[in-house]
Structure 1
Amino acid sequence: MSNLPEIASLWIGDHLSWLEQLCLKSFADMGHHTTLYSYSHIDNVPDNIHQVSAGEIYPSEPMLRHARTGSPAIHADMFRLNMLKKTDKIWVDADMYCYRPFDFKTKWVFGWEKPGLVCNAVLGLPKNSKALSMMIDFFQDEYAIGPWLRPWQQRELEIERDAGSPVHFTAQNWGFTGPTAVTHFLKKSGEIKHARKEQAFYPVAFKDRNRLILSKPNVEEDDLTKDTYGVHFWARRMKPRLEEKENNWPRVGSFMRGLLEKHGINPDDAPIPARNRIDEALLKDPELCAKLAIEGLRAEVSMSSMSRKYLVDEQFIKECVAKLENAAPDIFRNVATNLDDKCD
């Protein structure tokens, strides 16, 4: 299958976990010329994976990290678009498994994650794609306000911009430069017509992801059909589960365990590292929690805006509000009252 399209991904860091090794190796084992771009040497890239400097495509500085999480996902999003503009390779996230060769006769390679949303974990576009050009042009303005956002979200960002504090795209809500933006521009250009069904690359939905690593319920033959080319492993949530609860191994008899055996990958040789957790002091700070609860209850701005302002997850704000509403401990209630007095 020498005529198979070339596959490429990006890894920011100097070490792969076994999950990335498995996914990258699956493409090479299926006969794809597979390139891994990186900004520094990676010491445990599987055989037959070609390691290339990412600087050939997109500069490493400034490294575009999400302000709240520190994730370089935004940098990867910008790299992906520029790679598609400069090469004929198909982009895949490093947690996309090759179930069968990507033997496509078209340059448009992407699929629905769920109704209304195209995921960019697999993305192939011709260099002259209108959607690709529009995305690259749009993100030249790092303070741009996404027309795909809800009207109230756009208005909130416009107010901040007009007040002299425009929100940089690294400070916007998680995923701003990702699938929602891609879906918007594919629709705008009309190229959305090339989107493949969910079965193509996302046969196991995000909500069902644990089936990939559990013995029961397992991934059944009905999940993976003749139309399935890839299987997304949802690494952002899957890797913490594997590291924290599964001792780094998918369970015996699981779909993923079988793939490790098929491709000769040993998790003990490249374990998933522990994730960076939110500062425990932040989570236990009653004053901050009380302040967030009060602002949340007042609802003068959205939780999205508060999340950007305080660099905390919206779920954390909701938990703080719940504590205040549900008879918080006296010490918490006193702090909240004192803060409320100061605000008045």
Structure 2
Amino acid sequence: MSTSNTVATFWYGAPFGPIEQVSALSMLDAGHKLVVYTRGTIDGVPPGIDVRDAAEILDTGDIVRHRKTGSVALYSDLFRYALFNKTDHTWVDLDIVALRPLPMDKPYLFGYESADEVNGAVLRLPRQSPALAELSKFTVDTRGYPPTLQGLRRLKYVARSFGRGLPISQWPWGSLGPRALTHFLGKTGEISNALGIEAFYPVPFQQAARFATPDDLSLDSFPEPVLAVHLWGKALRQHISEHHGGRVPSGSFLEKAANHYATRFDFDISVLF
């Protein structure tokens, strides 16, 4: 049983924008303590948030990146598995907006994103989790093939590496994210702890633009089974940049949430990216 009310995340490089600020303040509003682990400093972090050195949890020297995209998502995946081995914190991505307190009375917390895949944007695993043990075997020095890679795609990677395996940074993007999480939770049977899609992902990735659509969604749009909503930050950010000149549209979910939390915490949330 979890006794910690702390949620934690990793952020690197860019200042907090409106998505991250709204997400962070929603966690405080729901009664959680939020710890943001990082390397260096971050601008735009609202007051009341504990910013700590990510090396306390996972010290890899330089931040390992996906070689093709430059994304730090690989480090982020490794980080959250290390987090569960060292703390009793619950992981949240910084594009999750809590609508009510996250349940802390059970050792597991995660939900389905689709009919057949769970997502790790909200995630808690106990230290004795068999799936966590499998996921924790991967490190920045791992060389081999993604656990979910099968068939012709696997043969392609075997041929590409002459059978020696590829460094983890050269694996397909997201190899240690939801696909691996779903794979090992399914293998161990722990996937039975998953909440339904409505818990965290009632708005699917394909509809991320709805959070920037005026007079569509609001904080009050979602019924009680919805604990939080995933804003699909990268897709939403790109949509706002391409279709709204980088400015959060007035009357949209994100703008209304920004106004709500800005008033609640007396903090000036940016509406520009």
Answer yes or no: same fold by TM over 0.5. yes
Amino acid at match of 2:44: N
1:189 corresponds in structure 2 to 188
1:60 deviates by 4.5
Change (3 A) 1:79 1:62: same
1:78 corresponds in structure 2 to 78
CA offsets 1:203-231 (integer angstroms, 9 cap, x no match): 11001111111025x13799622111111
- Structure 2 CA distance, aligned partners of 1:25 and 1:184? 32
Change (3 A) 1:213 1:266: farther
Change (3 A) 1:226 1:149: same
- Structure 2 CA distance, aligned partners of 1:55 and 1:234? 27
Change (3 A) 1:221 1:50: closer
- Structure 2 CA distance, aligned partners of 1:222 and 1:70? 37
- Structure 2 CA distance, aligned partners of 1:198 and 1:13? 31
Q: Which deviates further from its counterpart, 228-237 or 246-255?
A: 246-255
Structure 2 unaligned residues grouped into runs of 5+? none
Amino acid at match of 2:241: E
1:9 aligned counterpart, secondary structure:
strand
1:110 partnered with 2:124: no
1:250 deviates by 2.9
- Structure 2 CA distance, aligned partners of 1:227 and 1:161? 47
2:13 corresponds in structure 1 to 13
2:241 corresponds in structure 1 to 243
- Structure 1 CA distance, aligned partners of 2:75 and 2:126? 21
1:244 deviates by 3.3
Kept in 1, the 8 Å contact 2:16–2:45? The answer is yes
1:31 aligned counterpart, secondary structure:
coil
1:308 corresponds in structure 2 to none
Larger Rg: 1
1:106 deviates by 0.6
1:57 corresponds in structure 2 to 57
1:201 corresponds in structure 2 to 200
Amino acid at match of 1:215: P
Measured on the aligned residues, the alpha-carbon RMSD in Å equals 2.1
Structural mapping, 1:99-248, within 5 Å: 99-139=99-139, 142-162=142-162, 164=164, 166-215=165-214, 218-219=216-217, 224-248=222-246
- Structure 2 CA distance, aligned partners of 1:182 and 1:82? 14
Amino acid at match of 2:233: A
Kept in 2, the 8 Å contact 1:199–1:224? The answer is no
- Structure 2 CA distance, aligned partners of 1:193 and 1:179? 16
- Structure 1 CA distance, aligned partners of 2:163 and 2:183? 28
- Structure 2 CA distance, aligned partners of 1:4 and 1:41? 26
Structural mapping, 1:304-319, within 5 Å: none
- Structure 2 CA distance, aligned partners of 1:229 and 1:47? 24
2:87 corresponds in structure 1 to 87
Kept in 2, the 8 Å contact 1:99–1:228? The answer is yes
1:287 corresponds in structure 2 to none
Amino acid at match of 2:186: K
1:42 aligned counterpart, secondary structure:
coil
Q: Which deviates further from its counterpart, 76-85 or 218-227?
A: 218-227
Amino acid at match of 1:101: P
Aligned residues: 267
Kept in 2, the 8 Å contact 1:203–1:223? The answer is no
Kept in 2, the 8 Å contact 1:249–1:257? The answer is no
Q: TM-score, normalised by structure 1?
A: 0.73
Q: Which deviates further from its counterpart, 65-74 or 244-253?
A: 244-253
Kept in 1, the 8 Å contact 2:111–2:195? The answer is yes
CA offsets 1:171-222 (integer angstroms, 9 cap, x no match): 1221111110011011111110000001101111001111111025x13799
- Structure 2 CA distance, aligned partners of 1:193 and 1:48? 35
Amino acid at match of 2:235: R
Displaced runs of 4+ in structure 1, greater than 6 A?
220-223
Kept in 2, the 8 Å contact 1:248–1:267? The answer is no
1:252 corresponds in structure 2 to 250
1:44 deviates by 2.4
Q: Which deviates further from its counterpart, 87-96 or 252-261?
A: 252-261
Amino acid at match of 1:206: F
Structure 1 unaligned residues grouped into runs of 5+? 273-344
Q: TM-score, normalised by structure 2?
A: 0.90
1:162 deviates by 3.2
| Structure with higher RCO (Cα < 8 A, 6+ apart) | 2
Change (3 A) 1:179 1:80: same
Change (3 A) 1:62 1:221: closer
- Structure 1 CA distance, aligned partners of 2:15 and 2:52? 15
